[in-house]
Structure formats: C-alpha cells, structure tokens
Amino acid sequence: MNILIAEDDIVSRKFLVKHLNALHHSLMIAKDGQEAWETYSAHHFNVVITDWMMPKINGLELARMIRTNHRERYTYIIFLTVLHGKENFMEAMKAGADDFISKPFDLDQLFARLNVAERIIGMQKELHSLQELLPICSYCKKIRDEKEEWIPVDSYISKRTASTFSHGICPECYTEHIAPSLSLMKDRRNP
C-alpha cells in the first residue's frame, strides 16, 4: 500500500520506516503536519499514519483537511500518538480518524490494523467498480437507471455527461439491414 507517515519525532519515524519497509509498503515521510498536507495534496495514499502533536499543522487538523478534500479514493487514517483515553480517541474519530493507537505501541497491533485498512480499501475499490456497472437489456439495449426505469442508452448518457449523439449506421448494420431493404425496393420498382 502507499502510506504517508506524518511524524515529527525522528526515533518514531525511523522505527516506522524500518518496519513498514520490511512489509514492502511504499512509503513517503513528512516531518510535520504542513509537509504531510503538501505531500498528501500531490499524491494518493491508501493510508496516512499520523502523530497527533506536530508542528505547523497537528494530526487533528491534518485529518480534517484530508476528509474535506473529497477524493474519489478513500484514505484510511491511523493516529499513532502518546495521548491516551476515551476523550482523545473520540476527538480523533470526530476529526476523521479510522483508527487510534497509543504509544508505545505493539508492532503486531499496527500490522493488524494495516491489514484491516487494506481490507477496507479493497472493499471500497470493489464497491466503486460495482457502481460503474450498467445493467443493460440484452435485446433492446436500454439501461436501468437509479429509479429502476429502463431508458435508451443515449438518454442515459446525455443526462449524466456533456455528450450529445448524432445518429448514423455502422457498416455491419448497413449490410444486414439497409442493403437488403434497398435491394427489395429496387426489385419492386423494376419488376
């Protein structure tokens, strides 16, 4: 997975990099919240692991900024912080965190949470691809819309995009449908 680590403590940062590299994740590192936001803005990350207390922009502000960014692909946010307790947990969740781990932390616990993040991101990708499927009638080629109504393909597309249609006849349909009709009309004129 692509992971952004936002951690101002050099020891914690090196520890995370060492162990996450061993799992073959693609990592980018930010030394404070401002650098994390700039890096996030320029790239897509599956996961952001952030400290809470950082200079310039703290982890809560970073999480809020990520959530208001409204990207098509979801980013899973894990807080990794020295702060403890239900109040801090709830505040992180309100800011947009998906998970919260207090330091010092157990590596196995972090790895398990990353596995959960990977499953959730995988399900989100699957859901997104299912939403892109269009139910189309095999015979008349009408599409079923969100109101469960069957409408012509050109109407469906015109309502959802800036596309317009001009009608024509493809070579196969000309040969199959038009040419025989023209031939029949010609035969009727010349008995």
Torsional sign, CA 46, 9, 32, 95: positive
pTM to 2 decimal places: 0.67
pLDDT for 130: 58
pLDDT above 70: percentage of residues in the chain:
97
Mean pLDDT throughout 159-168? 78
Torsional sign, CA 49, 53, 55, 61: positive
Q: How confident is the model at residue 131 (pLDDT cuts 50, 70, 90)?
A: low
pLDDT tens across 75-129, in order?
A: 999 998 887 888 888 888 898 899 888 888 888 888 998 999 999 988 887 777 6
Residue at token pair 């109407």:
155
All domains of the chain in start order, with CATH? 2-131 (3.40.50.2300), 143-189 (no CATH)
Q: Where are the beta strands (DSSP E) in 11-155?
A: 26-30, 47-50, 76-81, 99-102, 143-144, 150-151
**8 A C-beta contact, residue 23 and residue 17:** no
